[in-house]
């Protein structure tokens, strides 16, 4: 599956942003920006479309960034922990070596998004629409997927220990090189998944059966 990356060829004369609160106040759209080495906490901006951007080595934690659209954005070495992205749209975005622990993506849309070597432990992705998305070498421990619409999802060498899947069909997803120890899911939801032989034994706990050796 081909995940479409941020369209950096469309970027034009990126303007560096030094103060988020000033730049994102009373606007509804901003594009062609570069954000680097900024640290903010408990900030809020909503209903903004942010496109064609590079965000590097930036910390925005415990913030309210709900109802925004992020399009063609490359995030690198960022800390966005405990931030709410509820009802947001992420389109052609890439997260490289980012920390998103405890983030809220409830009812968001993720389309052509890559999470690479990132930390999404304790994330809430309930009722999110997730299409053409890859989680590569990424932590998703204790994350929650509930009533999700999934299409073309890749988990590659990722850690889903004790992740929870409720009313989320996982048919066709390959978990064979990821960690799925202790996941919580219904029998209906795990039908049609691909696992390795050791994972298959672990999943017998969901079937309420015992294996004699």
CATH pick for 8-30+48-207 out of 2.60.40.10, 2.160.20.80, 1.20.1070.10, 3.40.50.150? 2.160.20.80
What pLDDT does 101 receive? 98
Q: Quick one: three-class SS letters along the chain? A: CCCCCCCHHHCCCCEEECCHHHHCCCCCEEEEEEEECCEEECCECCCCEEEEEEEECCEEECCECCCCEEEEEEEECCECCCCECCCCEEEEEEEECCECCCCECCCCEEEEEEEECCECCCCECCCCEEEEEEEECCECCCCEEECCEEEEEEEECCECCCCEEECCCCCCCECCCCECCCCECCHHHHCCCECCHHHHHHCHHHHCCCCCC
Calculate mean pLDDT across residues 10-32.
94
Q: How confident is the model at residue 1 (pLDDT cuts 50, 70, 90)?
A: confident
Give residue-wise pLDDT tens across range 101-114. Answer: 999 999 999 999 99
């Amino acid at each position: 599956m081909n995940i479409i990356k941020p369209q950096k060829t469309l970027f034009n004369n990126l303007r560096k942003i030094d103060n988020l609160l000033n730049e994102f106040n009373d606007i509804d759209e901003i594009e062609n920006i570069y954000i680097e080495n900024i640290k903010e906490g408990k900030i809020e901006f909503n209903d903004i479309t942010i496109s064609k951007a590079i965000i590097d080595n930036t910390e925005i934690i415990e913030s309210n960034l709900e109802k925004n659209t992020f399009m063609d954005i490359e995030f690198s070495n960022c800390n966005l922990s405990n931030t709410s992205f509820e009802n947001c749209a992420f389109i052609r975005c890439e997260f490289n070596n980012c920390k998103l622990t405890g983030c809220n993506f409830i009812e968001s849309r993720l389309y052509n998004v890559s999470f690479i070597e990132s930390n999404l432990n304790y994330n809430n992705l309930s009722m999110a629409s997730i299409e053409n998305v890859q989680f590569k070498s990424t932590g998703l421990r204790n994350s929650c997927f509930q009533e999700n619409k999934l299409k073309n999802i890749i988990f590659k060498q990722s850690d889903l220990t004790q992740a929870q899947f409720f009313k989320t069909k996982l048919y066709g997803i390959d978990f064979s090189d990821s960690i799925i120890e202790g996941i919580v899911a219904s029998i209906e939801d795990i039908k049609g998944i691909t696992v390795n032989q050791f994972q298959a034994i672990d999943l017998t706990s969901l079937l309420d059966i015992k294996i004699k050796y």
